[in-house]
Amino acid sequence: MNQTLLLRASNKVGPRLGLAIGLAALAVLLALPLLHLLPGDHALHVSSYTLTLVGKILCYAVVALALDLVWGYAGLLSLGHGLFFALGGYAMGMYLMRQSAGDGLPAFMSFLSWSELPWYWTGTSHFLWALCLVVAVPGLLAFVFGFFAFRSRIKGVYFSIMTQALTFAGMLLFFRNETGFGGNNGFTDFKRILGFDITAPGTRAVLFLASLLLLLGSLYLGFRLARSKFGRVLTAVRDAENRLMFCGYDPRGYKLFIWVLSAVLCGLAGALYVPQVGIINPSEMSPTNSIEAAVWVALGGRGSLIGPLLGAGLVNGLKSFFTVALPEYWLFFLGALFILVTLYLPRGIYGLIKRGEQ
């Protein structure tokens, strides 16, 4: 009798405790931009560095959630999500460069003796067109790649290798000066966005809140999809695709939809990342970044949506520490962390928390 009462109590306390922690974290995140607006000599003032760092981690958390949708639910391990993130960043960067240049050419084009803008820069001085590019470019690339990959029934390690090759090819392309994207220096020295000073405290606070809203919206969308019939079909694709096809379902459409949606979310995250950090270059397309995103999801717990957010926050927090204190040991630590998680925490931190509740 007593054991039954304890079990019922724990079942009620566990979810409530998790909700309380989540609401407390949300309250802290909402308070950060407000504290940033306080005078610099105020005891509660949050510095630009701290706000930018947390805003950057929020954008990374959206990438982790997007990757969890395709890996955790559809079983598609992508090692190329850094490409979609960078494409969204470059689309926003084109607008910011046009804002800085005014009626002239961006500084890097003048340095390279360009006489006019390339055709694909047309309209990038308009914010709404830049937003269209942020969504359309990663989404269209993901659609074309996914259409042919899923039609050919490529999956497993072969799919992962192809996504890694795709992002590596994109990185090499954007490194070239003649492509019109700044070469290895990329885009930087942004000054204004929508007419506002991009370094002003108010602008930084708005960008931070936009990143938080994107994360919350992505999380809500992810939960709605996961708990719908569509989400159950996705998990069936992950666990027994052949049986699903035997039942009369065509998994290609389901995989293509979630793959494109994941790419679009990454593009939006990249678009908010760039004005906060102040730079975008081809190194964001490095396969290492995409592999690191997979580590976030694995560490947090794939197939949970909440876990990847924890993984992204923990890994990037540790990265910020190691790159300042012990920069030469960061990659060794990251590799060891991934090995330990794979061996001893197959369900990640979130799985460990859930097991503790049970």
User: Which band of pLDDT confidence, cut at 50, 70 and 90, is reported for residue 283?
Assistant: very high
Judgement on whether residues 105 and 189 belong to the same structural domain of the protein:
yes
Q: How far is it, in rounded angstroms, from Cα 251 to Cα 74?
A: 10
| Domains contained in the chain, number | 2
* pLDDT, mean of residues 212-223: 96
Enclosing H/E stretch for 30: helix 2-36
Judgement on whether residues 9 and 72 belong to the same structural domain of the protein:
no
Judgement on whether residues 111 and 163 belong to the same structural domain of the protein:
yes
What is the DSSP pairing of strand 187-188 with strand 192-193? unpaired
User: Which band of pLDDT confidence, cut at 50, 70 and 90, is reported for residue 7?
Assistant: very low
Out of 37-41, 183-187, 220-224, the most confident range is: 220-224
| Residue 2, pLDDT above cutoff 60 | no
DSSP state of 279: E
User: Which band of pLDDT confidence, cut at 50, 70 and 90, is reported for residue 340?
Assistant: confident
pLDDT at 101: 87
With 0.85 as the threshold, say if the pTM is over it: yes
User: What mean pLDDT, rounded, does the chain reach?
Assistant: 90
* pLDDT, mean of residues 343-357: 80
Least confident span in 11-25, 189-203, 282-296: 11-25
Range of the domain at 134: 54-287
Q: Does any domain span residue 279?
A: yes
* Torsion over CA: 310, 311, 313, 314 (sign): positive
User: Which band of pLDDT confidence, cut at 50, 70 and 90, is reported for residue 350?
Assistant: confident
| Residue 341, pLDDT above cutoff 80 | yes
Q: Does any domain span residue 17?
A: yes
Which conformational region is residue 189 in: left (phi greater than 0), alpha (psi within -120 to 50 degrees), or beta? Answer: left
| Residue 10, pLDDT above cutoff 50 | no
| Residue 12, pLDDT above cutoff 60 | no
Judgement on whether residues 40 and 60 belong to the same structural domain of the protein:
no
Q: Does any domain span residue 83?
A: yes
Q: How far is it, in rounded angstroms, from Cα 204 to Cα 197?
A: 9
CA angle 91, 95, 99 (to 5 degrees): 165
Least confident span in 103-107, 153-157, 192-196: 103-107
> Euclidean distance between the first and final Cα of the chain, in Å?
18
| Residue 14, pLDDT above cutoff 70 | no
| Residue 118, pLDDT above cutoff 60 | yes
Residues 81-108: pLDDT tens digits? 999 999 999 999 999 999 988 888 898 8
**Which one of 265, 287, 309 terminates a domain?**
287
